[in-house]
Structure 1
Amino acid sequence: MINILALSGSQRAASTNTALVVTLARNAPPGCHVSVYDGLGHLPIFNPDDEGERTPQEVTALIAAVTRADGVIVSCPEYAHGVPGGLKNALDWLVSRDAVVGKPAMQVHASPRSQFARAALAEIMKTMSFDLFDGQDLTITLLGKRPQEMDEILADAASIALMRDRLAAFSSFVCTR
């Protein structure tokens, strides 16, 4: 069984990125389990002085979740042509940890327009030594959709098939690492 941790970079209640990772988790192919990390908004602001013995409990839980995962999926909205602060904060807490070194990672997107954030996130993750599943991102366009429309798109057979296909490809990538 491949265990994948999915993170949404959005903290909005009606987040398209969160809806996407939750739906990925529900539609994982056989042999693949996806769990969704939901503690982004509870992480304190990164401070290197609070590492080591002073590492906050919320951060310790994030580090443990990443460590246990065979791979990581990140769904990232774009704010002001960049990565949202909450997601960047979570990644900052992981920078000096071995949990991410060589960890297979994949980006998924709820908007085709997030090109700046995609590039910035890829650069951050490569710098952190994640093993990025380059060129194999998943995009399901949910931007600007009402909740009912999002549900319909995410429940569509073609969307489910695409999610399962991308997760299966990512699982194969994880297995080769």
Structure 2
Amino acid sequence: MRTTHILAISGSLRKASLNTALLRAAARLAHPSMRIELFGELGMLPLFNPDIEATDPPAVANFRTRLLAADGVLIASPEYAHGVTGAMKNALDWMVGCETFVNKPVALLNASPRAVHAQASLKETLATMSARIVDEASITVPILGARLDEAGIASHPEIAASLREALIAFQAAIAGYQAEDAAGQDRA
């Protein structure tokens, strides 16, 4: 069985981020046929500036390469002032011109039931970039205030079960998209 490679992106730069812990817990819970790699260089991306876009800064080139190599993208981002974090928006802005997200399967994890504005904004931005949002794999995991770290999230019966189900749905959607794409290429 082919391994499904997922690039996980936390919209938080905090060392003790719940969103990062959620993504790490997902990596622990993933089936062995799914490899989840956490992108830890979000804070290294320069501020988006169209004047330097053509110079392809090394951090941006690395991010783009890793996105292109991934079968899917898993994003967990906190909400700041009813929107996505500046770091997350900056990363997405860098990818608009190169169309990295076109037809890329994306699942969104939300660590707080009250972070609805950021989730909606993130979903809208990714849809505008032509990403394939996998709704059945995009879930809210109520860990805000639960005082759970990565290990606690991974061992919590209900949360772990929800994450596993979301990851199974994500992997199935990715396999379906890959089969559709292959069939389309065969017809061309």
Category of TM-score, reference length = shorter chain: over 0.9
Equivalent-residue separation in structure 2 for 1:74 and 1:50 (angstroms): 26
What is the count of residue pairs matched by the alignment? 175
Cα separation, 2, equivalents of 1:165 and 1:146: 23
CA contact (8 A) 1:14 1:147 kept: no
CA RMSD of aligned residues (A): 1.5
Q: CA separation in 2, counterparts of 1:78 and 1:48?
A: 26
Q: Structure 2 matches for 1:159-170, cutoff 5 A?
A: 159-170=159-170
Aligned to 2:61, the other structure's residue is in SS state: helix
The answer for the alignment partner of 1:40 in structure 2 is 42
Residue by residue over 1:81-132, the C-alpha shift from the partner in whole angstroms, topping out at 9 and shown as x without a partner, is 0011000000000001132110000100111111101110010000011111
In structure 2, what is the equivalent of residue 101 of structure 1? Answer: 102
C-alpha contact 1:5 1:73 (8 A) present in aligned 2? yes
Shift in Å at residue 45 of structure 1? 0.1
Cross-structure match for 2:27: 25
Distance (Å, rounded) in 1 between the aligned partners of 2:136 and 2:118: 15
In the TM superposition, what is the alpha-carbon distance from 1:80 to its structure 2 partner? 0.3
Letter in 2 for 1:69: A
CA distance in 2 between partners of 1:143 and 1:33 (Å): 26
Contact 2:34 2:171 in 1 (8 A): yes
Unaligned runs of 5+ in 1: none
1:154 equivalent to 2:154? Answer yes
Query: Which residue identity is paired with 1:7?
Result: I
The residue number in structure 2 matching 1:83 is: 84
Normalising by structure 2, we get a TM-score of 0.88
TM-score by length of 1: 0.93
Q: Measured at CA, do residues 147 and 30 of structure 1 come closer, stay the same or move farther in structure 2, by a change above 3 Å?
A: closer
Checking the alignment, whether the CA contact within 8 Å between 2:44 and 2:59 is kept in structure 1 is yes
What is aligned with 1:8?
10
Cα deviation, residue 147, structure 1 = 5.2
Q: 4+ runs of 1 displaced by more than 6 Å?
A: none
Unpaired segments of 5 or more residues in structure 2?
178-188
- Structure 1 residues 170 and 135: alpha-carbon distance in aligned structure 2, compared to 1, 3 A threshold: closer
C-alpha distance in structure 2 between counterparts of 1:94 and 1:67, whole Å: 11
CA distance in 1, matches of 2:153, 2:63: 30
Q: Which amino acid aligns with 1:123?
A: E
Partner residue in 2 for 1:67: 68
Q: Percent identity?
A: 41
* Corresponding letter in the other structure for 1:168: I
Aligned counterparts of 1:135 and 1:24: Cα–Cα separation in 2: 15
